């Protein structure tokens, strides 16, 4: 077995004057031999290269996560296995070059796990999928640590659960009962290891990142061409004004008008193109939602399939975060409240797994989103009863379905019988309503008892 990157990688301890028990992450910094090590960024590290690595590393992990979710539906997809392996391998190689020993070690162990799958030493079981996804989560946490260090004091604290995850990766042995069977679609795992981000590392790392945006090459090329055309047109206008002459057969005024009109056309196209540069596709948002569905379904013990359409639809980047938060609450609610438990679905002759669909589309001036599930649908009588109990309705009220369904967006409203870490406090759909208002959007609800529910969102293309 090759030596572990962390065993022979050089780490630079903190100077004695700043190291000590007052460091908040000190309890989590024990290396494999039990010694306390506080890793720091090297003084001479190439900060531009490091920032570029963080961006590319996040992209690699996102690709790995997408391939892992695809593998759960088709464990025999060797190309998906290779995509995950390559992503971890790329992160390992570049982080090793930069001296980021923690990231190198995590990527190395995750890569080794996928190597065992690729070499058919083990099958891609549910436990393998869990560990690989948790490795992706840990890498994202480590990226956040480095981003904070890059813009802070250079210290690289270890996220909680880091060493335990490495140990779980190195010692993973799949349960024989599931090792030879296809991976169940969001069913019970054969060993789940919780990887937890310590404190506010992820949030702080995100705040430390510089604001960047990726631009399609064809759009950038067109932008360059338009700027060149605009400069040429402006020069021609200036020369016409100086010379006071037009082309043969034209009056000076008419020649100048033609050039001004041409310039105006370029400016309008340049304006449209500049706006499009701030548009980003919904694909990354949809990918995150696929992970949310998977994790939520696992937690509540329901087999659920997530189907997304229209991930190429673009939206203004200033709206992405709010829209993402809004959709997270909605898909969690769909899994927890909409999709029935397996026994209930089977009793009603409904197939497994349950299905949650998300479709995006463009309309003139708007973005449309439809989130639907084939679950039990909104329970009108239960909503009315709970609204009366909370004083939102009186017993004499005669609301139609639209009015009743909209009650679920009221602050603190919930029909859950028990409070869990997923639902029950009436927070999720209240967040949806507030984020929709901030985005100047609207939502309509359609529901058929026993068949499912559909939430139809309409949002502007931009807040500007």
The pLDDT, as a whole number, for residue 399 is: 84
Residue found by looking up tokens 């997530």 in the block = 306
H or E segment at 309? strand 304-309
pLDDT of 396 reads: 65
Q: What is the pLDDT of residue 189?
A: 35
Q: How far apart are CA 147 and CA 50, in angstroms?
A: 9
Q: What is the rounded CA–CA span in Å between residue 153 and residue 224?
A: 39
CB 313 within 8 A of CB 360: yes
Per residue of the chain (464 residues), give pLDDT as tens: 444 444 433 333 333 322 333 323 333 344 544 444 678 888 888 888 898 899 899 999 999 999 999 998 888 899 999 999 999 999 999 998 888 999 999 999 999 999 999 999 999 988 899 999 999 999 999 999 999 998 888 889 999 999 999 999 999 988 654 444 434 333 333 333 333 333 333 343 444 444 566 677 777 778 777 877 887 777 777 676 666 554 445 566 777 777 777 887 888 788 777 777 778 899 989 999 999 999 899 889 999 999 999 999 998 888 888 898 889 989 998 999 899 999 999 999 999 999 999 999 998 889 999 999 999 999 888 888 888 888 888 876 778 888 888 888 887 777 766 656 566 545 568 778 888 988 999 999 999 999 999 999 999 987 76
Please report, for residues 55, 98, 394, the alpha-carbon distance to residue 46 in angstroms, rounded to integers and kept in the order given.
15, 8, 66
- Contacts made by residues 46-52, CB under 8 angstroms, sequence distance 24+: 46/98, 47/150, 49/98, 50/98, 50/146, 50/150, 51/150, 51/210
Tell how far CA 454 is from the center of its chain. Answer: 22
Pairing status of strand 354-363 against strand 442-448: unpaired
Which residues neighbour 27 within 8 Å (Cβ) at sequence distance 6 or greater? none
Structural tokens at position 251: 């009056």
Global pTM? 0.68
What pLDDT does residue 14 have? Answer: 32
Q: Report the pLDDT value the prediction gives residue 270, as an integer from 0 to 100.
A: 81
Given CA atoms 433, 435, 437, 439 in this order, what sign does their dihedral have?
negative
Q: Calculate the alpha carbon distances from 168 to 174, 182, 195 in Å.
A: 11, 22, 11
pLDDT of residue 65: 93
Q: Output the pLDDT for position 438.
A: 87
pLDDT at 195: 33
Cβ proximity of 358 and 313 under 8 Å: no
Q: What is the CA radius of gyration of the chain?
A: 27
């Amino acid at each position: 077995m090759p030596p572990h990157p962390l065993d022979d990688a050089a780490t630079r301890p903190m100077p004695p004057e700043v190291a000590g028990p007052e460091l908040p992450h000190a309890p989590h910094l024990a290396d494999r031999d039990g010694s306390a090590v506080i890793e720091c960024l090297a003084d001479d590290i190439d900060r531009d290269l490091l920032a570029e690595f963080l961006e590319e590393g996040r992209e690699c992990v996102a690709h790995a996560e997408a391939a892992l979710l695809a593998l759960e539906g088709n464990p025999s997809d060797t190309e998906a296995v290779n995509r995950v392996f390559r992503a971890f391998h790329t992160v390992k190689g570049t982080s090793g070059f930069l001296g980021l020993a923690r990231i190198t070690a995590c990527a190395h162990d995750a890569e080794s796990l996928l190597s065992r799958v690729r070499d058919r030493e083990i099958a891609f079981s549910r436990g393998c999928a869990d560990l690989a996804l948790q490795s992706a989560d840990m890498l994202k946490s480590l990226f956040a640590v480095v981003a904070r260090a890059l813009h802070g004091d250079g210290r690289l604290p270890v996220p909680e659960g880091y060493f335990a995850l490495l140990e779980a990766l190195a010692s993973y042995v799949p349960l024989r009962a599931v090792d030879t069977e296809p991976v169940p679609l969001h069913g019970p795992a054969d060993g789940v290891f919780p990887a937890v981000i310590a404190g506010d590392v992820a949030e702080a790392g995100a705040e430390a990142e510089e604001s960047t945006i990726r631009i399609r090459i064809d759009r950038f090329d067109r932008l360059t061409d338009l700027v060149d055309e605009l400069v040429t047109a402006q020069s021609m206008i200036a020369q016409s004004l100086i010379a006071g002459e037009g082309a043969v057969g034209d009056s000076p005024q008419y020649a100048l008008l033609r050039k001004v009109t041409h310039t105006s056309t370029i400016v309008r196209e340049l304006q449209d193109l500049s706006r499009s540069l701030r548009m980003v596709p919904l694909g990354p948002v949809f990918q995150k939602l696929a992970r949310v569905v998977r994790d939520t379904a696992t937690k509540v013990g329901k087999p659920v399939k997530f189907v997304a359409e229209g991930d190429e639809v673009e939206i203004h980047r200033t709206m992405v975060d709010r829209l993402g938060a809004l959709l997270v609450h909605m898909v969690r609610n769909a899994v927890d409240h909409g999709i029935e438990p397996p026994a209930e679905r089977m009793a009603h002759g409904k197939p497994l797994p349950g299905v949650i669909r998300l479709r995006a589309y463009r309309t003139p001036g708007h973005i449309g989103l439809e989130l639907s599930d084939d679950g039990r649908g909104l329970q009108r009588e239960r909503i009315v009863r709970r609204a009366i109990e909370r004083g939102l309705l009186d017993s004499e009220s005669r609301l139609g379905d639209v009015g009743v369904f909209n009650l679920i967006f009221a602050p603190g409203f919930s029909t859950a019988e028990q409070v869990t870490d997923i639902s029950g406090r009436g927070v999720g759909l209240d967040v949806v309503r507030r984020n929709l208002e901030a985005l100047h959007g609207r939502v309509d609800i359609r529901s058929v008892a026993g068949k499912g529910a559909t939430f139809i969102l309409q949002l502007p293309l931009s807040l500007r």
